[in-house]
Amino acid sequence: MNILIVEDEKSLSSEIAEFLRSENFLCEMAFSGIEASEKIAVNLYDFVLLDLGLPDCNGLDLIREARKNNSEASFIIITARGAVEDKVKGLDLGADDYLSKPFALIELLSRINAVARRKFNVGTTDIILTNFMMKIQSRELLCKGETVDLTKKEYDLLQYLVLNHGRVLTRHQLYEHIWGNLLDDQYDSNFIDVHIKNLRKKLNNHAPTPWLETVRGVGYRVRLDNQKEPEG
């Protein structure tokens, strides 16, 4: 997932980014409200970790602005402020959670995962894909008990499509989520098509994948109309 860390304490921001990258997240940092505003206006993020006490603006104002440009991003407020009214205002503006400093990085990870489960309506760490089982916690894909050999990026691509099942994701959305932000003149939609082709080939070597659909001229979609949680 693609995360923007908005925090003016550079050492803390770097510490958070390093930890989350080790957990397979993509991370960018912004050290001011202006910088964060510029990034949110042009890039897609799955999460924004936001310090309310920025040097050049009130973080609450940034939530209002960000909701216009990155409406699907999830916000977690991270701040030293302990006032109940700040927490309430942030949640009322659409923040998904609130974490007071100081905090343990493992707690931040737990909050991110909890918000993601609610966001994608995932009540288990296992998701059934007909003959396949995706194990979110261990980042494995199994077919009838056999491990499907996927690269990290192939797994990330499939997981993002699965978590957004039923929704058509554009090639640009998939690129930014998996490979990070880019300039428009760097973007090549064929890049995603090649990776989907390779992914499909590996999956089809194990079992058919009618649930992975190409939406012509737009992007890709995973359909889990009969999705169910695994027994046991």
Q: For residue range 173-190, what is the model confidence (pLDDT) as tens digits? A: 888 888 776 555 455 668
Q: Which pTM was predicted?
A: 0.74
DSSP 126-176: EEEETTEEEETTTTEEEETTEEP---HHHHHHHHHHHHTTTS-EEHHHHHH
Kindly report which listed range (125-139, 152-166, 168-182) carries the lowest average pLDDT score.
168-182
pLDDT in tens, 72-126: 788 998 877 666 677 777 777 778 898 888 899 999 999 998 888 887 766 567 8
Mean pLDDT of 203-210: 94
Residue 138 confidence (pLDDT): 84
Domain 126-222, what fold? Arc Repressor Mutant, subunit A (1.10.10)
d(CA 207, CA 181): 33
Beta bridge partners of 127: 134
Under the banding of pLDDT at 50, 70 and 90, the label for residue 230 is very low
Under the banding of pLDDT at 50, 70 and 90, the label for residue 207 is very high
| The Cα angle at residue 163 between residues 201 and 134, in degrees rounded to 5 | 55
pLDDT in tens, 23-46: 888 899 999 999 998 888 888 888
| Nearest CA-CA partner of 65 in 33, 30, 98 | 33
Mean pLDDT of 129-157: 90
- Say if residue 227's pLDDT is above 50: no
Q: Phi and psi dihedrals of 177, rounded to 5?
A: -70, -40
* CATH placement of domain 2-119: 3.40.50.2300
Q: What is the residue-averaged pLDDT of the chain?
A: 84
Please measure the distance between the N-terminal and C-terminal CA atoms of the chain and give it in whole angstroms.
Answer: 29
Residue 211 confidence (pLDDT): 93
d(CA 87, CA 6): 17
d(CA 5, CA 48): 6
CB 180 within 8 A of CB 17: no
pLDDT in tens, 47-77: 999 988 888 888 888 888 877 777 778 899 8
Under the banding of pLDDT at 50, 70 and 90, the label for residue 129 is confident
Residue 2 confidence (pLDDT): 87
Residue 123 confidence (pLDDT): 59
Domain boundaries along the sequence of the chain: 2-119, 126-222
Beta bridge partners of 147: 142
- Residue ranges of the alpha helices (H) in the chain? 10-22, 33-42, 59-69, 84-92, 105-119, 152-163, 171-179, 189-204
